[in-house]
Structure 1
Amino acid sequence: MTDTVAGSAGSASEVRHAEEVMGTVFSFDVRGGEPAEVRAALDEAVAALHRADAVFSTYREDSQVSRLARKELTVADCDPEVAEVLALAAEAERVSEGWFSTTYEGRLDPTGIVKGWAAERAARRIAAAGVNGVSVNGGGDVQMTGTPEPHRSWRVGIADPLRPGGLAAVISAAGAAELAVATSGTAERGAHIVDPRTGKSAVTDLVSVTVVAPRLTWADCWATAAFAMGSRAGLAWLESLPDVEALLITAGDEVRCTGGLASRLG
């Protein structure tokens, strides 16, 4: 866990923090705001991430989700966040026509939506403290609100899955009150995305799908679903979604984009 605080007379403060949780690192970049209020909001956001991990982790036998899957609890017995996340997951499954699923090997597993939802919630919690801007990066998926500085915008680099260390594109949040960028693929974690029709690893022509949308909850879900669909069906489906742009890269090094993605490059 690390913190970096910068600022000087006449300049907005900057707070950077890294937190290991949910099996990854969440990085916070907070600009502006009253230092005491920012610190309190950041502490609350970090505590909420750990609480979400305790509630939703499928690796913990005593988590509420694990106990729910074993039918030791009902949804009503769980924290309100469980019902909230399951309702969001049901909506994602409906919109994706089943390509996004919270069932794995016949067992409840909402981990595909929890990280994005938790990062989005953390960013909004800090934004409510009156900061100029905040970026929360949860294992490579990013939720941004506001701006880092006047007349500047948040920018996110998209890793090139076929050229380690390189960038496939840079996304700009210019003009957006909030923007999220999420990537699903095989470059870093291997074949971990499941085809819900077969219950096995999704075999498609894609190596990565990056989705740009206002909310990380949905961007993360849509990237996962589109990857499982494959490039042709995935691109067509993503084009049909409102306020969504995407970049798809195939194993053959073809780059396919939604029609409006160019407006977000920079």
Structure 2
Amino acid sequence: MLTGLRRVEHIMGFPISVDLRDGDERSHDAVEGAFAWLREVDARFSPFREDSEVARLSRAELEPEELSDELTQVIDLCDFYEESTGGAFKSWLPGRGFDPCAIVKGWAVQGAAEMLHDAGARRFCVNAGGDVVTFGESEPGVPWRVGVRHPERADQLCVVLELRDGAVATSASYERGDHIIDGRTGEPARGLISITVVAADLTTADAAATAAYAMGVEGITWAAAQPGCEVFAVDSERRVFRSPGLPVAS
């Protein structure tokens, strides 16, 4: 009988790994399908590929009725977070066209994880450049432990979280610089140096973390008020905020 499997590929600009702790031949085969899905998403939804569906939308080459169901779903999510944040989160920015990357990453990886679960896997995690979705436990009775990088010390962690059937995502400037824009001002977001969101799924965790970062300090309260979300944040004054239900490792 097959047991665990570990695999990593570089897709969408960062390493994505699968750590499968159980499963049979069907769920192992699903790992290939999950990575194929992620490669497909990269090809179809990257704003940096001239032939992608997203790039064609930015160039106004597609009519609304020509959009795929998946792109329509992504656009709806973008619209939801823009409205919810009062415009701090925006997928359409002057001079940049349509850029749904803040939504697509978590949405795509969550989809890959659900493919594994549908194929019978019950204990696994998928790590996409530090954003993680988990199912089950790493070992019987042992939750998955996810370390959150210290925003100013690359060799240290600022908190370790314990997860079962959940996801965690972090938005910060330490990897890609000032890449998150406050859509209300058109300028790089200010007020936070790192914010981590724990949620039931990575679509929510990743989008909420990015949206909250774009909002600045007010994004902490906003993110903590989102259904099912817990928050760990460090603001530009180096003050630490932790919501009461955050699953911190003991």
* Alignment TM class, shorter chain as reference: over 0.9
Correspondence 1:253 to 2:243: no
Q: Please give the alpha-carbon distance, in whole angstroms, between the structure 1 residues aligned to 2:82 and 2:215.
A: 13
Contact 1:162 1:253 in 2 (8 A): no
Structure 2 counterparts to residues 124-203 of structure 1, below 5 A: 124-173=114-163, 176=164, 178-203=165-190
Contact 2:85 2:215 in 1 (8 A): no
| 2:248 counterpart letter in structure 1 | L
Shift, 1:230, TM fit: 1.9
Q: Please give the alpha-carbon distance, in whole angstroms, between the structure 1 residues aligned to 2:112 and 2:30.
A: 9
After TM superposition, the score normalised by the length of structure 1 is: 0.88
Q: Please give the alpha-carbon distance, in whole angstroms, between the structure 2 residues aligned to 1:21 and 1:78.
A: 23
| 1:58 counterpart letter in structure 2 | P
Contact 2:88 2:211 in 1 (8 A): yes
Q: Please give the alpha-carbon distance, in whole angstroms, between the structure 2 residues aligned to 1:210 and 1:189.
A: 16
Shift, 1:161, TM fit: 0.8
1:58 is matched with which residue: 42, 47, 59?
A: 47
SS of aligned partner of 2:185: coil
Shift, 1:243, TM fit: 0.9
SS of aligned partner of 1:43: helix
Q: Deviations over 1:41-65 (max 9, x none)?
A: 1111101001101110111111011
Contact 1:179 1:212 in 2 (8 A): yes
Q: Which residue of 2 aligns with 1:88?
A: 77
| 1:80 counterpart letter in structure 2 | D
Contact 1:55 1:65 in 2 (8 A): yes
Q: Please give the alpha-carbon distance, in whole angstroms, between the structure 2 residues aligned to 1:197 and 1:41.
A: 42
Correspondence 1:240 to 2:225: yes
| 1:64 counterpart letter in structure 2 | E
2:207 is matched with which residue: 221, 232, 235?
A: 221
Contact 1:68 1:75 in 2 (8 A): no
Q: Which residue of 1 aligns with 2:20?
A: 30
Q: Please give the alpha-carbon distance, in whole angstroms, between the structure 2 residues aligned to 1:124 and 1:149.
A: 20
Number of matched residues? 248
Q: Please give the alpha-carbon distance, in whole angstroms, between the structure 1 residues aligned to 2:64 and 2:19.
A: 34
| 1:29 counterpart letter in structure 2 | D
Shift, 1:80, TM fit: 2.0
Percent identical = 41
Shift, 1:89, TM fit: 1.8
Contact 1:100 1:221 in 2 (8 A): no
Higher relative contact order structure (alpha carbons within 8 Å, sequence separation ≥ 6): 2
| 2:183 counterpart letter in structure 1 | P
Contact 1:247 1:256 in 2 (8 A): yes
- The two structures, once aligned, show a CA RMSD in angstroms of 1.6
Q: Please give the alpha-carbon distance, in whole angstroms, between the structure 2 residues aligned to 1:70 and 1:63.
A: 11
Shift, 1:91, TM fit: 1.9
Shift, 1:123, TM fit: 0.6
SS of aligned partner of 1:47: helix
SS of aligned partner of 1:203: coil
Q: Which residue of 2 aligns with 1:6?
A: none
Q: Please give the alpha-carbon distance, in whole angstroms, between the structure 2 residues aligned to 1:22 and 1:163.
A: 25
Return 117-126 or 221-230, whichever deviates more: 221-230
| Structure 1 residue runs of 4 or more that deviate by more than 4 Å after TM superposition | none
Q: Please give the alpha-carbon distance, in whole angstroms, between the structure 2 residues aligned to 1:250 and 1:88.
A: 26
Q: Please give the alpha-carbon distance, in whole angstroms, between the structure 2 residues aligned to 1:140 and 1:75.
A: 34
Unaligned runs of 5+ in 1: 1-8
Q: Which residue of 1 aligns with 2:30?
A: 41
